[in-house]
Amino acid sequence: MNAALGVLLLLVLVAGLTPFPSTADVLCDNIKQMAPTLSNNTSSSPLHFSTTTFGQAPDVVYALALCRGDVDDSVCGGCMASTFNLLLNLKPPPQQQCYEAAYYYGDLCAVIYSVDDILNTTGDGSSNSSNGDDEPFTRWNAYSWGGGAHWSIDNITGDAQDVSLTVGLLHQLLVETAQAAAASTTPRRFATGMMGKPMVFYTLAQCTPDLSEASCWACLNRLLGMVNTTIALRKGGQIHVIRCYIRAYDESFLGNSNSCSSSSSNSLLHLLPLPLDQKVQKRYINIFYRTIAPSCRLD
């Protein structure tokens, strides 16, 4: 096994939908008070998952947090603490005291809160909210580091037959990983996968543990259907919604660089931050974290 460096892209989507009314200070206080409760409940839960409804109408906050299925209490708690530190210190747009909705989809945990009821779900695990709270968020490895401060397109390459074979096997692996997560005999609804030939790829699928097997599979299958012929060529990426997500990369994002084991993620605690990519639009801000973490590749 050779140690390698893999680029992990952490996605934060923070949505500020409308300016707050005069009760904004109440809502913002509710968000701040909700944070430690959700963080502690998630890291101390055997499933590393928690939901909460905080405050009274019209200032109710609905929130959900989930840690990756293979991390321990310490890693989960650390991710919760750093995520809320980030979200609660983001500067909101003018005329707003805080963001009324935030979506953080990171490598080790996810945190979502909103003034809309994101906890009320349909049969496929998507939110019943009418405000687009469960819009899928995607991040694909369109580029790889080429040295000399240059990025290049990072697609699966080779002759047409080899590319077609690799893409087909990777899609099959993603489907099987999603099926394993949904049918998991453990309550965490989490599974990982790996293929060694013709290229090495690692996959992950996870649902919130309160979903049934059928709802988890419906949620993951919805994401699998979004992998079109263009993004299927990428050497990795991820798609997230509130209740489930899938990931695939040609570098290991699980375990430590010495063992390639998914049983420990301590090596991921020491990420080296690179400059942020920020994209500000009228209703929301995207913040993409680029971080470097140890990873492994099989010979």
Per mean pLDDT, which range of 49-63, 73-87, 95-109, 119-133 is the poorest? 119-133
| Model confidence pLDDT, tens digit, residues 218-231 | 999 999 999 877 77
More confident residue, 281 or 145: 145
| Model confidence pLDDT, tens digit, residues 251-261 | 888 763 223 33
Query: Residue 208's pLDDT is what?
Result: 96
263 band by pLDDT with thresholds 50, 70 and 90: very low
| Model confidence pLDDT, tens digit, residues 22-57 | 456 898 999 999 999 999 999 999 999 999 999 998
| Model confidence pLDDT, tens digit, residues 196-207 | 888 899 999 999
Query: Residue 135's pLDDT is what?
Result: 82
More confident residue, 19 or 162: 162
Q: Would the pLDDT of 294 be above 70?
A: no
| Model confidence pLDDT, tens digit, residues 164-209 | 999 999 999 999 999 999 998 888 999 999 998 888 999 999 999 9
Give residue 217's Cα distance to chain centre.
17
Query: Residue 58's pLDDT is what?
Result: 87
Q: Would the pLDDT of 274 be above 80?
A: no
Domain positions in the chain are 139-267
C-alpha 24/C-alpha 81 separation (Å) is 24
Query: Residue 129's pLDDT is what?
Result: 56
**Local structure of 40: helix, strand or coil:** helix
Query: Residue 227's pLDDT is what?
Result: 86
More confident residue, 164 or 284: 164
Average confidence (pLDDT) over 58-80: 94
Q: CATH topology for 139-267? A: Killer Toxin P4; Chain A (3.30.430)
* pLDDT, averaged across the chain: 75
Tokens for 9, please give them: 């892209």
Query: Residue 77's pLDDT is what?
Result: 95
Q: Would the pLDDT of 76 be above 70?
A: yes
> What pTM did the predictor assign?
0.76
